[in-house]
Amino acid sequence: MSLADSWGSAPASPIGFEGYEKRLEITLSDAPVFVDPCGRGLRALSREQIDSFLDLAKCTIVSHLSNKHFDSYVLSESSLFVYPHKVVLKTCGTTKLLLSIPRILELAAELSLPVLSVKYSRGMFIFPGAQPSPHRSFSEEVSVLNSFFGGLKSGGNAYVIGDAFKPKKKWHVYYATEEPEQPMVTLEMCMTGLDAKKAEVFFKDSTDGSCSSAKEMTMLSGISEIIPEMEICDFEFDPCGYSMNGIYGPAVSTIHVTPEEGFSYASYEAMNFNPSSLVYDDLIKKVLACFCPSDFSVAVTIFGGHGFAKSWAKGAEVDSYMCDDLVEQELPGGGVLMYQSFTAVTPGAVSPRSTLDGWNSDGAEMVAKSKEMSVCWEGEKAAKKKDADA
């Protein structure tokens, strides 16, 4: 019996659509030159082979855009990016992302591409009870991830970061690596409580009777101006919803929007860009202008050190938002995760103190007793805590 067969299914939420994505990033080492003389790596996979692991995750390709560096796919539930030595799969709703792992690893092995590292991340689901196995809890997800990647040199390391007094604002991360990774910065941004006027743009049929296309949504929302150099592949859903992938050289950005009132959500991601070419605060402000959320979080993963990351290695400061939490978490292999959460406030509001959540050695979720520590799956590891008002 396959891994997919061993997990039951869960009905879709009767309340609303789950916007928060699950994100899996698997990085691979080079194949021997005589096996892959052109260095195509994963880009040598056929559409049929790609569909074979997307089917397991319960999503399909709806649009495609490529350049000389990588292939990008807009999916029925979020996005897929395929580089020669990296695959990033991001899925929302009640998809079963982790069930794609065995097939991805099988295809990588056929191409003689050994695993270098894996990173899994997600926020706190809006409708956690609607998630199917193996996504019913983070402990369940970590168990699956460890079964595939726990044998890497670093071992599996899992973290739950966030304010203990705000359980809906938690960031979940799993990371394992064989050796230090190449320098790279990745931004993951999650927004809830979208402004009604901003969200209205992402309904296919507007209140005045007109019909909007994905291209119009991209322009009217201001998304096209976030990083103007990006070539955008966008897609509108019926009756509402929006996804886009942007590509520029090896860099990628992606946006996914669930605009319905009561569970509105938007995400923004940028990866593999030159950190000297983008100013962290400025980029965040451009994204916020498109959605005006009541709450948002940012998670910046840095490989290559603070000097390489430039402005991305410090906390963001955003007008009209209060920083609820600011955490700097070290990752194995020299990586760093910078996490912040924000709430829209009136002028003069004072930021409360925050704590970290973690996991004990038995895999049970817990609140870290010390405000200076986070607890990871394999044991306690220090997390540098910065003052939110610094």
Feature table: binding site for substrate: 17, 77, 237, 260
Give binding residues as ranges: 17, 77, 237, 260
Closest C-alpha among 266, 382, 278, 267 to residue 327: 382
Separation CA 381–CA 390 (nearest Å): 23
Structure-token pair, residue 315: 């906390």
Separation CA 103–CA 270 (nearest Å): 26
C-alpha pair distances (Å), 285 with each of 131, 188, 222, 279, 321: 32, 14, 12, 10, 11
- Asked if 218 and 199 count as a contact pair (C-beta separation under 8 A), the reply is no
Separation CA 122–CA 50 (nearest Å): 23
Separation CA 248–CA 229 (nearest Å): 7
Separation CA 140–CA 120 (nearest Å): 13
For 221, the 3-state DSSP assignment is helix
- Asked if 365 and 359 count as a contact pair (C-beta separation under 8 A), the reply is yes
Separation CA 54–CA 245 (nearest Å): 17
Separation CA 161–CA 327 (nearest Å): 8
Gyration radius of the chain over CA positions: 20
Closest C-alpha among 77, 73, 71, 67 to residue 267: 77
Structure-token pair, residue 70: 């990588």
Structure-token pair, residue 258: 């669930």
Structure-token pair, residue 40: 């195509």
Catalytic residues: 78, 92, 243, 256
